Chain A
Amino acid sequence: MSFIKSRLRMAILQSPIGLLAGLLAICMLFQSAAAIHAQPAEATDDLSDREERAMQVAVSAVAPSVVRIETVGGLETVEGMLVGTGPTTGLVVSADGYIVSSAFNFAQKPSQILIFLPDGTRLPAKQISIDNSRKLVLLKVDPPSPLTPPQVAPQSEMAIGQWAIAVGRTFDNGTTPNVSVGILSAVNRIWGKALQTDAKISPSNYGGPLVDIRGRVMGVLVPLSNMGGPKASALAGADWYDSGIGFAIPIEHIMKMLPKMQKTEELHSGLMGISLKGDLYAGEAIIKAVLGGSPANRAGLKAEDKIVEVDDVPVRREAELKHQLEPHYAGDTIKIVALRGKVRIETNLELIDKLVPYQHPFLGLLPLRNEPESAEGVGIRYVFPDSPAQAQQFRAGDRITSFQGKPVKQLQGLLEQLANVAVDEEVQLELKRGTDDLKIKLKTTALPEAFPAALTALAAPAATEEKTKLPTGKVTIRIPEAPNNCVAYVPADYNPAVSYGLVVWLHPPGGVKEDELIDLWKDICSERKLILLIPKSTDAAKWQRTEMEVIRKAADDVIGQYNIDRTRVVLAGQEGGGSLAFLVAFANPELVRAVIAVDAALPARTSVPFNEPLQRMAFVLTEPAVSKQSKAIEETATQLRANKHPVIRQKLGLTAKALTKDEIQDLGRWIDSLDRL
C-alpha cells in the first residue's frame, strides 16, 4: 500500500498526466473499498463520475492562468451590434504579465482595461498588439508577483473527438471559472487558422482557453467567420455563439507569434494581389488578374499563370492555394512556383497588409455593338461630352485600331488592355477615320458618376429575314426544383441579331405586381434593348438568402435562350430586394455589371469586394427624400467608393419609393452606357 502511495505522489508531482492517472487510481481504490464494505456500485456510474471529476481537475489546472477582464468606457454599439460591458476573459501567456484575449472583447474601444487575477488582484492593463488575422489581442500588466502561464498541449497530440473544455471567467462565482464541455470537432478550420469545438463558445468565454482533459491549453477562444475575408471585423462569427460551432486559435501558434506581437502593434493577413478564376474546389489555381502595384505584380506574376507550389507545398486547386496563403501575415515572404504555359516560374514575394483597389480609367467612348466579326478594330458609337476623348476630337464612326502600340482586333481585347491602365494615365491610340489614320494621345479620367445627359439609342441593324421562334412579351421562366415563380418581359420586336441588356428586378417586401412593373419598363425595354427578369420570393413578405441561387439560375436561363450583352447585366431591387441585389452581385461578379438599389443599403456586416480590373461593377443608389435607410445608404456609398466602384446617388420624390417612368428613362440611358470605355 505504501509503495502505491509513494508512486502516486511521485506521479502527481511529475506531470499533469500523472495528476490525472493519480486521480483515476484514487477513484479506483475508493471503488474497490466501496465494493467490499458497501453495496456494490454499478460500474458504469464510476466511469461517468471519473470523467466528470477529470474535467473538474482539468479546469482547476488551468484556472490560475485564466483572468477576468473588465473595461471602462467605450462604444455602446459596434457596426450596429450592441456590445456588452463585459466582463470577458483572458489567458496568461507569460509570468511577466503578458495576457492574450479575443479582439471581440475590445471592439468597443474601451478607455481603460482592468485585469482581475484569480486571487482578486486588480491591475490596469495596456493593449500591446492586435492580430487582425486571428482576431486576438495581447495585453500587458505589471504583476506584483509572477503570473502562472498554462501548460501547452502540442497540436501533434490533438485528435478529433477528444474532450475539449472551454473555460471563461465572466460570472460572479468567486474563484471558479465558468466551463462548457464539448469535443474537438476539427482542426485547421478557417483556412488552417483555427481549432473547432462543439463546446458552447460565446462572449462568456471568448478570450479564455480551450483545454484538453489534462488541463493543457489547446487554443484561445475567438469568434471567427470564414466569410468576409481578411478584413472581417472582430465581431464576425459572434452570431454563431453557443451554436455548437466555436473556434480557438491554436496556442502553439500564439506562443510562436508572441515575440513578434510584443514588438508589433498590429498584425494583418498577408495579401499578394491576385484574383483567381473563382472555382474554389474544382478549379486549378489559375490567376485571373493581378492587381497593379501588388506584390504579385512586382514579382512578375501574370494573368493565366497557374500556381502549382507555395513554400514547396504542391498546390493543385484554388482551395489548396487558399489554405497555404490565408494563414500568412503581412511581411511574410513566400515562395511561389507557377507555370506559364510550360515554363516554370519561381519567385519570392513579400505579402502586404493592404491592397489598393483598382480604379477603371475612362476614355469617354461608347463602342458600337453587334458588329460583324469581320469588322476591324472597335467602332465608336458615341463620344461623351467633356470627356478626354472629346477633348482630343474623337468622333462617332471612328475606329480604334491600336492601343498602346498593340493592334486592337475586338472589343474584348481592348477591354483587357484597358484593365492595365490607371486613372490619369496617358495612353496612345490609333484611329481610322474614313481612310485616314490618326495617332492620338490622351489622359484618362475616372468613370463618370452621373447619368449620361443624352444618348440616342442604337438603331437596330438591318432587319434580318430570320424570324425568332423565341417567345416574346410576358414569358414564364421555370427553375427546376425551385418553388419560385419567375417571369420575364421580352420586347415584342425582339431581334436575335441584336444583343440585349438584362435587368433583374428584385421586388420589395410585399411582393410584386408584375403587370404594373412591366408596363413601367416596357418602353425602355424596347428603346434600350433590354429584357426585364422578375423573380419572385417564395414568401412574398421577404427574400431569403438561399434564394440567391434561384435568381442566378433564372438569369442563366434567360441568358441561355436570348442574345444577352454580358456588359449590361444589371441587378436591381427595392428595399429588401435591393439589399439582396448587392449580395447577388457580389456572389456573381463574373455575371453582374451593375446594381440599382432603390431605398436599400448593403446588409449589415457585408464587406464590399474590391473593384476588379476585368469585372467592372457600377452602382446607382436611389432613395426617397426621406428614408429610414438614409444613413445606411450613405455608408453603402462610402464603402463602394472606398473600393473604387463608381456610384451614382439619386434622390427621388418626397415620399415616392417606387420608380417613376422618368427615373427609369435615366436608368435606361445609364444601362445603355455601361459598356463605356
Chain B
Amino acid sequence: MALAFVASLLQFLAEEAPHLVDEVRKLVTTWADRKGIPHEVLLAALGPVDDRVKAVDTAVNQHIAELWGDQTQPDGSRK
C-alpha cells in the first residue's frame, strides 16, 4: 500500500516537479532499506525506466497541446 503511494508520488513528481525526483528517490531508497523492503520489490513497485520516460513524454505532449491547442477531431483525426 505504502509502496503504491510512493510509486504514484514519484510519477506525479516526474511530470510536475522533476527537480524533486532525485531527492525523493533517495528518501524512498533509505526508507525501503529501513523497512526491510527488498530492492527488487522496490524496483518492481516503481516500475521500469520506460514508465518514467513515458511520463516525461506525456508531459511534453501536454505542453505541445497547450501551446498549439488540441487539434483532435471528434473522429480522432487531426486538423
A binds B: no
A residues lining the B interface (CB < 8 Å): none
